[in-house]
Structure 1
Amino acid sequence: RTEDPQDSERADLDKRFRNTIDTSLSYDREKIRIMGGYRAIRDDYDDLENLDRTDNMFTGALFYQLAPKTAVFAEYNYGFISYDTNRTNSNSEYHQARLGLEGNLLPKVKGIVKAGYRTVGYDANNKEDFSGFTLLGNIIYNATERTVINLSAEMTSEESSYSTNSYYEANIVKIALDHQLLERFWLNGGGFYGRNRYPDATTESSAVRKRRDDLWGLNAGMKYEIKRWCFISADYEFKERDSNFAAFDYTDHIVSAEISFIF
């Protein structure tokens, strides 16, 4: 259960239940690996029943081992999203094909990068379909024995419940740093920047334009190992959205503390 926004377009923290099923099966033979998978995501909102939906996605991929720890691959995804009601959003069907590279990419660098093309078709005639470039990257750089830097980026389309828009184009880049300062003491920090663009022009406070949101944030924290099985941590996170419609601007400050036990 979560109170986080289901996506980054809404202004309220909408309570919902999210359940996920993720399965995969692979077959390996020498330098070839074949993989198939299925994922289902179910969202149930407390107050926004018109957003209750199920996202089903099937995946097929073919990998070729270029080196012992590096592979190139081709991936295809087919999925469909079904809403319990169609008062706000339309059911849809999507296709996505990408080429990628995963494993050890450079000395001290590992991760996955994949890029391709995505199309989404909506059942309702008044909903605009999406087609465009898609990208997903997650890179881990072991700068030193004690310092790890994580870079990630994504370009895709997301479901939208704003006005007449069926989707918005979501682009985001993130950086995270983890540093072991002492034997039992770690520091971490990071940030992100994103931009969401909507295809349909809408009216807010007598202004007519296509909505565009710029999002950014920073975070910092610390973790201390009391015992091998017990950790304490404290974190601070700042997030801001700057929209060309002022009604969707927000600033968020989150301070958290946590104690963890490992058994």
Structure 2
Amino acid sequence: MATVIGSLCFAVNAHTWEKGHVQIEPSFKTEEMWDSNVFYEPSNEKDDFITLLTPGLKGAFAFGAEGKHKITANYLCELGIFAQYDDENYGNHDFKAGVDLDFDTYTLNVNNKFDFTSSRAGTEFESRTLRKEDRLDTVFGVHCNKFDFDFGHEFFIVDYLSDTLKSINRYENSVWTTGYVEVMPKTKALAEFTYQNIVYPDTDQRDGDAYKTMLGLQGDLTAKLTGIIKGGYKVKTYRESTREDFSNAVAYVALLYSMTDNLGLNLSYNREPFESIYDNNNYYTGDHFTAALNYIFAKNWKAILDTMYFHNAYPAIATGESKKRTDNEWALGGRLEYAWKEWLVSGVGYHFHQRLSTISSREYDQHVINGDIKVKF
């Protein structure tokens, strides 16, 4: 029962170009956006109109008996063009590729995700920071009646293009094993152990090791609730003895509650020590909650309501500050989509995002309004 991180999904649609066992799907998305706080400033915010152009290409190749083995690939290029602050113009490139081999008793899943990006999403940066990120996951699965085992390895590297940020370049190697036992027809209990090694090539005092054990359930948890829920303990130690290590509880939850055929609720929670670039801190402890309500109505309409709450706590006081940094972020947004055709979808949306912090210079409010059209060829 191989659990693949970042796996690719490719569904064959009527507009997909298909030749034998090969499917190809080009796409193009254009979006107009208004951002009330382009630079994430606590006051005197600067707003701007942004045009986003996103061409994409997705492909899949099935082979073997009944097409059980698959090769998939997905490329997206996002071009951001600012009406006023053109120094913020950017081009992000995202490429994913995967190989899934299924031999019944044994499975092998290899997935790679490469990003050339300046995105601030999921980072501590207030300004756009150009970097290369690459993540390679390999999972070997063994299936024996009611017992399954996964043996995995993940390699991650981030390389900043600015010379002033070379000291925070890093790479990580993680190995893990997960054992599953069937406790109900569609539900498995699991036990997992992970070892992680973190290396900063230009600052070896930040190098570290982490050990994590988790227990949980995966599959159908109730008649309408599916997903995974697991919790455990993690120890993360660093070579620099003057900085605090992490030793605390961790958790991961990803659930889908199918209320009706047309109404579903996605819920997630992740508690982890995340690597930090903030002064005097090797990490911060994040408690991250997200929820999204999806409703399909009147055949071609889809409404989405989503929210998030992030609590990020830093263990040390930064230079020049009088207290530890603790951030509380929350966001609420909505989106309405209309599918004119299977290959043509348009949408409009609004999001509000606020960060409150013990360090006032890190606070900000943001309003985003957008409209977009996506075409699949």
**What TM-score do the two structures reach when normalised by structure 2?**
0.65
Which aligned pairs between 1:233-244 and structure 2 lie closer than 5 A? 233-244=347-358
Match of 2:119? 4
Per the alignment, residue 43 of structure 1 pairs with 158
| Displacement of 1:229 | 2.8
Q: 3-state SS of the aligned residue for 2:167? A: helix
**Structure 1 residues 57 and 254: CA distance shift in structure 2, 3 A:** farther
Quote the offset at 1:261 in angstroms: 4.4
3-state SS of paired residue (2:240): coil
Query: For 1:155 and 1:19, how far apart are their aligned partners in 2?
Result: 23
Extract structure 1 runs of 4+ deviating beyond 4 A: none
Residue identity in the other structure for 1:71: K
1:67 and 1:128 map into 2 onto residues whose CA distance is 42
Is 1:253 the counterpart of 2:370 in the alignment?
no
User: By how many angstroms is 1:39 displaced?
Assistant: 1.3
Letter in 2 for 1:98: M
What is the match of residue 116 of structure 1? 232
**Cα distance in 1 for residues equivalent to 2:312 and 2:129:** 19
Distance, in Å, in 2 between the alignment partners of 1:225 and 1:133 is: 44
Q: 1:257 to 1:49 in 2, by over 3 A?
A: farther
Aligned length: 260
- Shift in Å at residue 71 of structure 1? 0.3
Aligned to 1:211: 325
Bigger radius of gyration among the two: 2
Change (3 A) 1:37 1:167: same
Please state how far the C-alpha of 1:8 moved relative to its aligned partner: 4.4
Say which is worse superposed, 11-20 or 155-164, in terms of deviation. Answer: 11-20
Gaps of 5+ in 1: none
Greater CA deviation, 232-241 or 122-131? 232-241
Letter in 2 for 1:55: E
**1:6·1:14 contact (CA, 8 Å) conserved in 2?**
no
Residue of structure 1 equivalent to 2:311: 195
CA distance in 1 between counterparts of 2:258 and 2:280 reads 45
For residues 114-163 of structure 1, the C-alpha deviation after alignment (integer angstroms, 9 at most, x for no partner) is 00000111122222211100011011101111111011111111111211
Structure 2 unaligned regions, length at least 5: 1-115
The one-letter code of the counterpart of 2:139 is: S
Which structure's relative contact order is higher, taking Cα pairs within 8 Å and 6+ residues apart?
2
Q: Distance in 2 between matches of 1:255 and 1:15?
A: 25
Q: Classify 1:15/1:235 alpha carbon distance in 2 versus 1 (closer, same or farther; 3 Å).
A: farther
Contact 2:281 2:318 in 1 (8 A): no
Cα distance between partner residues in 1 of 2:259 and 2:194: 34
Query: What is the aligned partner in structure 1 of residue 60 from structure 2?
Result: none
Kindly tell me: are residues 249 and 72 of structure 1, through their superposed partners in 2, closer, same or farther at Cα, counting changes over 3 Å?
same
Q: Deviations over 1:150-195 (max 9, x none)?
A: 1111111111121111111111111101100221110101111111
Q: Percent identity?
A: 27
1:121-132 equivalences in 2 (<5 Å):
121-132=237-248
Query: Please, which moves more after superposition, 50-59 or 10-19?
Result: 10-19
Verify the 8 A CA contact 1:203 1:209 in the aligned structure 2: no
Selected match of 2:192 from 75, 88, 91: 75
Q: Following the alignment from structure 2 to structure 1, what is the Cα–Cα distance between the partners of residues 197 and 373?
A: 39
Q: What SS class does the counterpart of residue 13 from structure 1 fall into?
A: coil
The residue type equivalent to 1:22 in the other structure is D
Q: What aligned pairs does 1:91-170 form with structure 2 within 5 A after superposition?
A: 91-170=207-286
* SS, match of residue 318 in structure 2: strand
Q: Quick one: which amino acid aligns to residue 346 of structure 2?
A: I
- Output the TM-score relative to the length of structure 1: 0.92
Deviation of the 1:6 alpha carbon:
6.3
- What SS is found at the alignment partner of 1:125? coil
Q: For residue 58 of structure 1, what is the amino acid of its counterpart?
A: V
